[in-house]
Amino acid sequence: MPGREALILQTVPLLEYPPRQYLYKVEYNPSEKNLCQVVINNSSPLAEIRNTPFRKSIEAEKVIVNDMRQLGYMHSVTNRQYENLFRRGLNFEVDFFHPELQIAVEVEKGEINNIWKNICKFAESSVIRHGVLMVPVVRQGQQNSSEFYNNTIKRLCKIERIFSYIDSLLIIGY
């Protein structure tokens, strides 16, 4: 979108927990600190899920759902829970949505294809202004592990047009 200036790739060092980085930012996410605090408050169970092969992202969602609700987020949101979140006929869902702040949060366990789908969902909604991806710092597989947080940043840092539909895209590692 012409006329929108964005800061790309603002990084918080990996030494600070949780690591976080804006891949796109016209405006700061007003809930950034609160979301990071949710990750800090639940770091042990999130790390256990992250470090165990075959665990699902829904398990991480369940760990943080009470904290997220206290912050005003709805859980597992579709057009049924929040009218016009997506265009009629789209059967999309976001893990968490804050109606007043217009923030959508997707929690992932380690599938890069889901990251792409989430970016498209953020762009497709006319009410999502800030997208947040919570991803594992390390993806633990059965045979090996990978730096999923860093790999996500690398894969997404060169695309910008799709981000222009939102005011910010923040990646938070857990």
Q: Where are the domains of the chain?
A: 18-173
The answer to whether the CB of 69 falls within 8 A of the CB of 36 is no
Q: Which fold has domain 18-173?
A: Restriction Endonuclease (3.40.91)
Reported in sequence order, the residue ranges of the chain that DSSP labels E, i.e. its strands, are 10-11, 20-25, 74-77, 94-98, 103-107, 130-135, 139-140, 145-146, 168-173
Looking at residue 39, the DSSP 8-state letter turns out to be H
Instruction: Convert the pLDDT of each residue in 20-68 to its tens digit.
Output: 999 999 999 999 999 999 999 999 999 999 988 889 999 999 999 999 9
Q: Is there a cis peptide before residue 99, judged by omega within 30 degrees of 0?
A: no
Joined tokens for residue 161: 């047009």
Instruction: Convert the pLDDT of each residue in 78-100 to its tens digit.
Output: 999 999 999 988 889 999 999 99
